[in-house]
Amino acid sequence: MSRLVVVSNRVPSTSPAKSEAGGLAVALQAALNETGGLWFGWSGKVVEPPAPAPTVTQCDRFTLATLDLARPDYEGYYNGFANRTLWPLLHSRLDLTSFDAAFFQSYQQVNALFAARLTPLLTPDDAVWVHDYHLIPLGEELRRAGLDNPLGFYLHIPFPSPEVMMALPWHRELAKALCAYDLIGFQTRRDLQNFRDFMQREMHGAIDGDGNLQVFGRTLVANAFPIGIDADKFAAMAGNAEPQEPRPSEHARRHRQIIGVDRLDYTKGLVERFRAFEALIETHPEYHGRVCLTQVAAPSREHVPEYLGIRAELEKIAGGINGRFAELDWTPIHYINRSFGQKQLTGLYRNSEIGLVTPLRDGMNLVAKEYVASQDPENPGVLVLSQFAGAAEQLLGALIVNPYDIQSVAKVLHSALAMPVAERRARWRPMMASLCREDIGHWRDSFLRALFAARQPRRIYHLVPERRAVGLSDIARPDMARPDIGQSDNRVGVISELRKAR
């Protein structure tokens, strides 16, 4: 029997008081709650000195194993290379990218640490699924430690054009590290094509007869696997939500609401969004006192300087718009700088006539899907969606906009507010059908099927072991090496099915 092992930088909270609003953690938690298995990652704690072995706890139907980081590792790996180098680079923001060799060294060291801490927890039958840009070198480190299991990697954020990727001084090291995986998954066909172009043009790879990449002596399988949500769950929560959840003020209940929900991030296009709403109420005085924008912007990466700047800018813009247009019983922009739980968000989504999702660049954007799934089938709202969000490839009933074109977005908002219910239903129904068909389970199963199909003997990756800064002998502990840790009777069905076929 096989076990699914998920590895990511971000892991769910074990506290019942905390509720995730969306994104990677929610998607993976839903998958593991269905299959059982092990989830390994950083605890979110920075301590001196870190514990010599992961902390293992039971979380719903899966086992959670977390490790702490020392302050220098946190600063270099997480605040440094992950958030000040890879995040802006992969979102094509070279103007915000820091190219610091010390950051890259820390990034490599922490990935070696992750591999050393994870290896004693693995069994020969495990299928290992590594997630996101924080952990690109992890597969190579696991192979060096002797792992010969099925090993997949999924990038949740965009992959940029080859020209942007080449700006990274360590692009070759990362490209070679990706070849340790049996399968690499991307959100969209555009990201997949960018990756193929980069590997072919810059790493001198070639496409074989099966459509796979031949590069660095490896046959590399890569494909697009758009991530989904539990659409039925969101629909049920929205249908059972309080009529106003959370409850707005008395005067807000009289207004037509546009909703935006994002992490506070420069990639989300929030400045441009505020300006587009300003253009709407500036050019359409009939909306004064009748339409408001509610923007939920949950704080993130508060120790990274660029994020302090975007928060201050948004507060200034929102204050200026409200000061210019507000009336005694109407505030144009409700700007909320904190997070809400899923149940509260579904209430907000359902009570909003427009879902405004306008990132400047986004891997997928699950908020767009959550908004659609939360709508009243008889009276659905309208999704206004950026052409640069991965979700635009799937949600064809949305009104697609260029978030940089402020006046055009304002015109589309006007059209959305005037859209008759028959057209809203006609747009919503195929989108909802798509979300139910390509849900979180479909995403998980399609990736795992492709992982086992890619796992052929000719593609097994071997490296000559070399001495690393972090050795297994430094962290191995008998009670952490039990072969049954995290095992579950509810194995991932697709894994056992495919193993039998082998």
Instruction: Give catalytic residues, as residue numbers.
Output: 156, 362
User: In sequence order, what E strands does 98-150 have?
Assistant: 127-131
Q: Is the dihedral of CA 210, 227, 44, 481 positive or negative?
A: negative
Angle at 296 (CA atoms; ends 394, 327), nearest 5 degrees: 120
Per DSSP, what are the bridge partners of residue 384?
Answer: 356, 399
Q: Look at residues 131, 118, 116 and name the one whose alpha carbon lies nearest to residue 9.
A: 131
Helix, strand, or coil here: 463? coil
| Secondary structure string (H, E, C) spanning 77-112 | HHHHHHHHHHHHHHCCCHHHCCCCHHHHHHHHHHHH
- Return d(Cα 336, Cα 296) in angstroms, integer: 5
Using a 10 angstrom Cβ sphere, with 0-12 exposed, 13-18 middle and 19 or more buried, the burial of residue 472 is middle
- Locus of tokens 């495919």: 498
Q: How far is CA 119 from CA 132, 430, 470, in A?
A: 19, 44, 12
β partners of residue 383: 355
Cis peptide before 403 (omega within 30 of 0): no
